[in-house]
């Protein structure tokens, strides 16, 4: 029996070098499964969503681990920025770009940019100044000017992932595109701003450095966007040229996945914003590449990307929930719980104030520019936009860790307080605001649901129900199916096609350029050469 047990113990050595990491992975995968099942059971619930479920399960698991380990640790994996920025964020943002309603997004492009760039700057300034004033009277240790500016950037980062879960692209398309589009630009702005603040010589501020910052931001924005567009077009071109009449689903899917990931990694390599790059890569891929592949590839990519994004999101919230109980961070706080509560409340208030300070004025500016009354953002919608963007999530957490810890450990009192306050704000905003968003939308905009469900051309039994992410996945087809120009496919009786008729000249010229040059080169709906009996034939037939 000695030999048997030693055989068994050696087996483990070959299989994997670290036993405890296997235990952690088992538990983590099992928890992910539990989140999916429980999230499904709570689906009908009007308050809950998958993020909150994962967060709550994460906190509960954290408590259990804390008790089992005798108060030593509360989480299974060591959180690293790499894990977040290299593995979890890319699929989430890519999928958002891949399945966003392109028409809505580009119609509101100026408003989105206003909210995302100018709005974030306003929000950041207000939070920084407010924190500077408010924290003077509290005893929270030493924080310098750089720390306060960093606090502004940290708490200006909207959680676009959570927004995806509470807003519904089919029920409130305008709000969804505004809040989510803003979220993506805002993520990029916050990261750029944060880095700029960390590296700036704060003792020597002047006008030229402000212009440098602005120039740097504009350069990053355009370069990142172009990189994403070029990678997307390259994938479309390769698949169109190589796979003509000789389709192979697995190669196409693999190539799309790898090139999407490559765009993100290239952006990281060239020190650009990977978030923006992969978002625009997703948009271009859904507009061109997706139409060059077989019907099986289309279904596979649509759902595989959505699934990857879905799992990454749950993973993220599960981790944030577990990490919230990390004992080291709370040691300093336990001495003076009042201070910590005060700091968190002040920050939460500043977040709300900072967001209000740009949503309402910028909505007013945006409404001035719009001609048609259907495009204008009403006051009730403005309230929803303000509310839905109040959640703070993983980006804030990662930035706070970066500023206030040295490799995950908090030594100074001021730093520890800021970390715990960030966690408190993230938990509070995600759970409380997240829970209240669905009822709030139902209260403020009760007519939306009925109106839109009439317009949808998919039969309700065919589409998956209730989670925003899943409904979204119907979009790529629906969105493209209603294009009134180009390929002569006009879906009769579709109200949306009439509503979305291109009134803007920019859109008209884009259509002309797209149909005259882009689609013949890169493929796209109606422009992939027709091969009788090929997989594309069936899909064209089916969708008419």
Of residues 18-77, which lie at the interface with a copy of itself (CB under 8 A)? 18, 22-23, 25-26, 29-30, 32-33, 36-37, 39-41, 43
Within 393-447, residue ranges assigned H as helices are 394-404, 413-428, 434-444
Q: Which of 45, 80, 336, 457 binds a copy of itself (CB under 8 A)?
A: 80
- Least separation in angstroms between residue 444's CB and a copy of itself is 27
Which helix (H) or strand (E) is 210 found in, with range? helix 207-242
Q: In Å, what is the CA distance from 196 to each residue of 227, 289, 376, 406, 444?
A: 22, 36, 34, 19, 39
CA 279 to chain centre: 9
Closest CA to 506 of 369, 376, 385, 363: 369
Q: Which is nearer to a copy of itself, 264 or 332 (CB)?
A: 264
**Structure tokens that stand for 145 in this block:** 């000017």
Q: Which of 128, 238, 329, 513 binds a copy of itself (CB under 8 A)?
A: 238
Within 429-488, residue ranges assigned H as helices are 434-444, 448-455, 468-472, 475-481
Q: In Å, what is the CA distance from 96 to each residue of 44, 106, 232?
A: 24, 14, 15
Closest CA to 62 of 317, 424, 410, 321: 321
Closest CA to 369 of 174, 118, 194, 111: 111
Stretch that binds a copy of itself, among 166-174, 240-248, 345-353, 382-390 (CB under 8 A): 240-248
- Least separation in angstroms between residue 12's CB and a copy of itself is 5
Rounded CA-CA distance 186/214 in Å is: 15
Q: Residue 409's beta-bridge partner residues? A: 406
Q: Which of 63, 69, 78, 248 binds a copy of itself (CB under 8 A)?
A: 248
User: Is residue 99 near a copy of itself by the rule CB under 8 A?
Assistant: no
Binding to a copy of itself (CB under 8 A): which residues in 289-348? Answer: 294, 296-297, 299-300, 302-304, 306-307, 310-311
Q: Which is nearer to a copy of itself, 32 or 452 (CB)?
A: 32
* Cα Rg of the chain, angstroms: 24
User: Is residue 255 near a copy of itself by the rule CB under 8 A?
Assistant: yes
Binding to a copy of itself (CB under 8 A): which residues in 189-228? Answer: 191-192, 194-196, 198-201, 209, 212-213, 215-216
Q: Which is nearer to a copy of itself, 130 or 232 (CB)?
A: 232
User: Is residue 467 near a copy of itself by the rule CB under 8 A?
Assistant: yes
Q: Which is nearer to a copy of itself, 39 or 152 (CB)?
A: 39
Q: Which of 158, 168, 177, 249 binds a copy of itself (CB under 8 A)?
A: 249
Closest CA to 320 of 407, 424, 418, 194: 424
SS3 label, residue 186: helix
Residues 341-378, buried b or exposed e (16+ Cβ, 10 A)?
ebbbebbbebbeebbbbbbeebbeebeeeeeeeebebe
Q: Which is nearer to a copy of itself, 7 or 368 (CB)?
A: 7
Site string for a copy of itself, 272-291 (x = CB under 8 A): --x-----------------
- Least separation in angstroms between residue 465's CB and a copy of itself is 7
Q: Which is nearer to a copy of itself, 382 or 474 (CB)?
A: 474
User: Is residue 251 near a copy of itself by the rule CB under 8 A?
Assistant: yes
Q: Which of 374, 461, 505, 544 binds a copy of itself (CB under 8 A)?
A: 461
Stretch that binds a copy of itself, among 70-78, 109-117, 188-196, 380-388 (CB under 8 A): 188-196
329 contacts 414 by C-beta, under 8 angstroms: no
User: Is residue 253 near a copy of itself by the rule CB under 8 A?
Assistant: yes
Binding to a copy of itself (CB under 8 A): which residues in 148-177? Answer: none
Q: Which of 13, 368, 450, 454 binds a copy of itself (CB under 8 A)?
A: 13
28 contacts 77 by C-beta, under 8 angstroms: yes
Give the total residue count for the chain.
544
Number of residues that bind a copy of itself (CB under 8 A): 100
Q: Which of 79, 85, 135, 522 binds a copy of itself (CB under 8 A)?
A: 85
Binding to a copy of itself (CB under 8 A): which residues in 371-400? Answer: 398-399
- Least separation in angstroms between residue 140's CB and a copy of itself is 24
């Amino acid at each position: 029996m000695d030999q048997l047990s030693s055989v068994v113990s050696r087996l483990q050595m070959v299989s994997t070098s670290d036993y405890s990491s296997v235990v952690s992975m088992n538990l983590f995968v099992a928890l992910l499964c539990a989140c999916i099942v429980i999230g499904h059971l709570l689906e009908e619930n009007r308050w809950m969503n998958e993020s909150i479920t994962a967060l709550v399960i994460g906190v509960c698991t954290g408590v259990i681990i804390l008790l089992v380990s005798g108060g030593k640790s509360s989480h299974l994996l060591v959180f690293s920025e790499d894990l977040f920025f290299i593995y979890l964020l890319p699929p989430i943002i890519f999928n958002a770009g891949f399945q966003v309603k392109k028409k809505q997004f580009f119609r509101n492009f100026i408003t989105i940019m206003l909210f995302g760039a100018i709005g974030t700057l306003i929000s950041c300034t207000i939070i920084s100044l407010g924190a500077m004033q408010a924290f003077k009277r509290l005893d929270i240790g030493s924080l310098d000017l750089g720390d306060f500016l960093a606090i502004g950037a940290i708490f200006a980062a909207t959680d676009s992932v959570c927004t995806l879960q509470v807003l519904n692209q089919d029920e409130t398309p305008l709000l969804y595109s505004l809040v989510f589009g803003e979220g993506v630009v805002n993520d990029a702005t916050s990261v750029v701003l944060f880095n700029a603040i960390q590296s700036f010589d704060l003792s020597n501020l002047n006008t030229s450095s402000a212009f440098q910052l602005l120039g740097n931001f504009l350069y990053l924005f355009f370069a990142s966007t172009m990189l994403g567009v070029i990678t997307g077009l390259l994938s479309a071109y390769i698949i169109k040229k190589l796979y003509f009449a000789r389709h192979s689903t697995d190669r196409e899917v693999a190539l799309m996945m790898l090139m999407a990931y490559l765009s993100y990694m290239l952006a990281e390599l060239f020190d650009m914003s990977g978030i923006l790059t992969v978002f625009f890569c997703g948009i271009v891929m859904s507009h061109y590449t997706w139409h060059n592949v077989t019907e099986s590839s289309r279904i596979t990519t649509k759902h595989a990307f959505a699934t990857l994004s879905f799992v990454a999101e749950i993973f993220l919230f599960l981790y944030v929930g577990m990490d919230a109980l990390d004992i080291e961070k709370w040691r300093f706080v336990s001495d003076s719980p009042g201070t910590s509560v005060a700091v968190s409340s002040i920050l939460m208030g500043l977040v709300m104030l900072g967001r209000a300070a740009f949503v309402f004025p910028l909505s007013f500016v945006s409404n001035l520019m719009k001609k048609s009354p259907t495009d204008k953002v009403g006051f009730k919608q403005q309230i929803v936009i303000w509310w839905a963007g109040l959640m703070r999530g993983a980006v804030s957490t990662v930035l706070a860790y970066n500023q206030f810890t040295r490799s995950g450990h908090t030594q100074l009192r001021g730093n520890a307080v800021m970390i715990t306050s960030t966690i408190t704000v993230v938990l509070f905003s995600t759970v409380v605001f997240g829970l209240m968003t669905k009822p709030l939308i139902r209260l403020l905009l009760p007519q939306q649901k009925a109106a839109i469900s009439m317009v949808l051309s998919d039969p309700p039994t065919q589409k998956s129900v209730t989670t925003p992410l899943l409904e979204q996945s119907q979009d790529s087809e629906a969105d493209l199916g209603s294009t009134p120009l180009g390929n002569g496919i006009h879906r009769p009786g579709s109200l949306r096609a009439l509503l979305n008729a291109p009134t803007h000249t920019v859109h008209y010229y884009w259509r002309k350029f797209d149909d005259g040059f882009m689609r013949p080169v890169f493929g796209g709906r109606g422009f992939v050469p027709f091969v009788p009996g090929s997989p594309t034939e069936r899909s064209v037939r089916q969708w008419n």
